[in-house]
Amino acid sequence: MVYYIYSRSILMRGVLSMTYVIALSNQKGGVGKTTNNVMFAITLATVFHKKVLHIDMDLQANSTFMLGMTFNKSNWPASITRCLNDKDLSKGITHLTENLDAIAGDSDFRNWGTWVADHIKGVHERTFYFKKLLDKIKDDYDFIFIDTPPATDIKVDNIMVATDYVIVVQETKRFAFEGSKELTNTYLQTLYDDFSDEINVQVAGILLVMLDKTHTVEQLIVDKTVKYFGKQNIFNAIIKSHLRLENYGEYGVQFEDYHDRAMFALFSDLYAELMERIDQFESKGDIADDYVYTPKYLNGKKLTPLGKEISADGLD
């Protein structure tokens, strides 16, 4: 059983900016977090015309590579590490398309925990360092997506205290399942215990990634995850093994044929479901036990009438 103790309300949202800061995370690496993060950001910016900022704070900077391939961008003004060290995130903001900006990641971020320990005094100031910088620019955006490293250290602490909603991306493997439990039940609980009056982070849900839908062990992990977290806390769509998603990671995101449209329809449904979940958290304090998302853009493998109308401005 998982306990969601990160209380939010519509009154709190009324005080805060209307920007939503979303982190995709898991304690295990290689779960598809980066690809899904980029797809969320691009879908919201190009399909729904939301103003989006993507920040790459993963150590491998794969989302920077993926965005660079998508938008033919190879030169970035400043990496996230330099922005943090210079106390100015605006230095790294790069315009990719009409509604999408990004701050690039870099391998130097691996050592940023040491830098902040050496330069910033006090646990509180170190933990909220990134949030204070993000607060200066966040009102320019509707959504900010953060690609997080698979860790539980001061770098991730900085991300989580600045985050409104966490999407736990879980590959259907045993270690990833354990990582989801560790993230939700231990790590976030500890963070909340330390800074309960100053953080508003909530787990939006578990997004499952299945590599082989015919593999009985993977289906077993799906069943265990649903039983442990509760069906209402699992996103309706399961990201199954898609060659198209793998190609996006190698060559950049495209919008050229039916398969691309279906992929954008899938993430349009994930966005619609995310907003329904956020609405329930902020109006009722939790997800209803009987909550079920009804697909609007992709029903099984078939595009709905809404799905057939999807276009991705700046990609097609």
- Residue 142 structure tokens: 């509707």
Full set of structural domains in the chain with CATH: 20-309 (3.40.50.300)
- Residue 167 structure tokens: 């999407």
Q: What is the length of the chain?
A: 316
CA-CA distance, 221 to 215, in Å (whole number)? Answer: 10
**pLDDT reported for residue 8:** 39
**pLDDT reported for residue 314:** 86
- Residue 100 structure tokens: 């999408």
Q: Give me the amino acid identity at 237.
A: A
CA-CA distance, 152 to 162, in Å (whole number)? Answer: 15
**pLDDT reported for residue 257:** 92
Question: In this structure, how many other beta carbons lie within 10 angstroms of the beta carbon of residue 156?
Answer: 21
CB–CB of 52/101 below 8 Å? yes
Q: Give me the amino acid identity at 11.
A: L
Question: In this structure, how many other beta carbons lie within 10 angstroms of the beta carbon of residue 9?
Answer: 14
**pLDDT reported for residue 213:** 59
- Residue 1 structure tokens: 């059983």
> Where does residue 279 rank: exposed (0-12), middle (13-18), buried (19+ CB within 10 A)?
exposed
CB–CB of 210/240 below 8 Å? yes
DSSP states of 153-210: SHHHHHHHHT-SEEEEEEESSHHHHHHHHIIIIIIHHHHHHHHTTT---EEEEEEEEE
CA-CA distance, 255 to 316, in Å (whole number)? Answer: 5
CB–CB of 103/92 below 8 Å? yes
CA-CA distance, 283 to 214, in Å (whole number)? Answer: 39
pLDDT tens digits in sequence order for the chain, 316 residues long: 344 434 433 333 433 448 999 999 876 655 568 899 999 999 999 999 999 999 999 988 999 999 999 999 999 999 999 999 999 999 999 999 999 999 999 999 999 999 999 999 999 999 999 999 999 999 999 999 999 988 789 999 999 999 999 999 988 888 888 888 989 989 999 999 999 889 989 999 999 987 665 667 888 999 999 999 999 999 999 888 677 888 898 899 999 999 999 999 999 999 999 999 999 999 999 999 999 999 999 998 899 999 999 999 988 6
**pLDDT reported for residue 239:** 87
